Chains A and B, each alone.
Chain A
Amino acid sequence: MSDIKIKITNLHKAFGRKVVLDGLDLEIKKGESLVVIGGSGTGKSVLIKCIQGILTPEQGSILIDDEEVVGVSEKEKEKLHAKMGMLFQGGALFDSLSVWENVAFGLIENQKMDKKNAKMEAIRVLRQVGLAPDVADLYPSELSGGMQKRVGLARAIATRPEIIFFDEPTTGLDPIMSDVINGLINESVKGLGATALTITHDMASARKIADRIAMLYKGKIIWQGTVKELDKTDNEYVRQFINGSSEGPIKVEV
């Protein structure tokens, strides 16, 4: 087996006439933490959803562990999802379930853990993300936005998946909590030996968690490299993005 965990070639995805991904190529190595940066609405979330099979691309191939995942059956997808964890941009917590039931969902439904152990495990993971055990019995609607984010993170890592997707893990958190989350992402990636794909706008966070950074622009990966290379690059698109300047080759239509 090769050491490439996810290999995407020539991925195309459009919604009606709107082309979002336009021939995207990307490789992620086993145990690597890749960060994807890019402007709002460039299709970063869509990319993750294509990899997970929630959205079906029109064209292109996605290999996970050398196996094609585009167009496989529901059953295969279920198996595939068993080794993935995902933190959604908006949290996507089940609001009819309490916090610990959310975190333990994968443990109870898939790994068939019994309730008592699952709750203990959930509380342990919650503590890892900096939440007190008494939060466990609250409902998602009773939490602040940042707390919801951390519960989402706890749910993503609770099943100890091989591949974890983080969609903007630090957006909406204070700088200190962001750093805790960054540390936690590093820990779960290194600790579990997991492969991580993170989307973020937060350059501080990207620098901290990335082994490699890739920039998405107009449906393609226009640049990729390590954090060191990021600071030295003379790619104008990347420079504009990390400097957060409105002047440069990237034009924002207002």
Chain B
Amino acid sequence: MIQKFLRRLGQPLVKFFSSLGELSIFVMRSVANCFVPPFYGRNLMRQVMDIGFYSLPVVGLTTIFAGMVIALQSYSGFSRFGAESAVASVVLISVTRELAPVLSALMVAGRIGAAMAAEIGTMRVTEQIDALTTLSTNPYKYLITPRIVAAVVVLPLLVLIGGVIGIFGG
């Protein structure tokens, strides 16, 4: 009885820690591979386009509306105190400090995360990842590293552009 209970408790725990371990090994290998040649420039460019360029519309759309809404709401509040002149700086600060980074990150994570999982998952089941290995290509370097590097490089740029568009919206 007690043994059964403990077993039921222990199993998920062991599973949890083993997946935690797997995840950390994965992260470590991926990051380490960012600094070791060979580098796949073409894959990197492709990911930059995918993550950066094709995310512009969603990021632009969300930030422009966020900017507009903040301007509208703060105006209706501030006008009661006759502080309409503060609206501009409120929009500026809230968009650049908070909304642009959060919204861009969320949009990119949502849009790209799902797409990547689907793509790499498909490659796994159709043995394309094994095929990479048999062609003496490290799948980490070929698939994972370009995606990480592209995301790291492109996100700040997206935030910048998102910020500009948001302020414009305001």
Contacts and interface: CB of A to CB of B under 8 A. Distances in A.
Interface of A: 49, 52, 54, 74, 77-79, 81-82, 84-86, 88-95, 105-106, 109-110, 155, 159
Interface of B: 38, 122, 126-128, 130-138
A88 B135 contact: no
A88 B125 CA distance: 12
A92 B136 contact: no
List the 7 closest pairs (A to B, CB-CB), nearest first: A92-B127, A92-B131, A81-B136, A86-B134, A78-B136, A106-B135, A82-B136
24 contacts: A52-B133, A54-B133, A74-B138, A77-B133, A78-B138, A81-B133, A81-B136, A82-B136, A85-B134, A88-B127, A88-B131, A90-B127, A91-B126, A92-B130, A93-B131, A94-B128, A105-B137, A106-B135, A109-B38, A109-B136, A109-B137, A110-B135, A110-B137, A159-B135
Contact of A93 (B128, B133, B134, B138): B128
B136 A88 contact: no
B130 A109 contact: no
B108 to A, nearest CB: 20
Given A77-B133, A81-B133, A106-B136, 7 more contacts: A74-B138, A78-B138, A79-B136, A86-B134, A88-B131, A94-B128, A95-B128
Nearest to B122: A95
A92 B135 contact: no
B135 A81 contact: yes
B68 to A, nearest CB: 38
B12 to A, nearest CB: 18
Contact of B130 (A49, A77, A79): A49
B126 A105 contact: no
Contacts of B131: 86, 88, 92-94
